[in-house]
Amino acid sequence: MMNTIIFEVTSQRHGRIRAGFVMQGTTLHAWCKSNAVLRQGAYKAPCGQWVGPKAEGLVERISRAAGVDAR
């Protein structure tokens, strides 16, 4: 049950980040290319598939760029 809740929260976070970029007229993929960030990490970190201090730092960075709350 707990894993399901965590998955739902992280999936929503990923969706909010992507929507934030779309609202700015761009995409997460384009942001990754222009900021030399590996796309795989940028997709896995917000979804909770990549965890740890570096992943959380990347989530914060991406969230700020998207203009959304990382939580």
Average pLDDT over residues 42-46: 91
pLDDT for residue 6: 47
Q: Which residue has the higher pLDDT, 9 or 55?
A: 55
Owning domain of residue 55: 8-64
> Does residue 71 lie within any of the structural domains?
no
Residue 53 lies in a domain: yes
Write down the pLDDT at residue 44. Answer: 92
Over residues 17-27, mean pLDDT: 95
Residue 58 has pLDDT above 80, yes or no: yes
With respect to residue 2, please indicate whether it lies within any of the assigned structural domains: no
What's the domain count of the chain?
A: 1
Q: At what angle do helices 2-23 and 53-66 cross, to 10 degrees?
A: 40
Distance of CA 30 to the CA centre of its chain: 13
In a domain, 23, yes or no: yes
In a domain, 3, yes or no: no
Average pLDDT estimate for 8-35: 89
Residue 45 near residue 59 (C-beta atoms within 8 A): yes
Q: How confident is the model at residue 69 (pLDDT cuts 50, 70, 90)?
A: confident
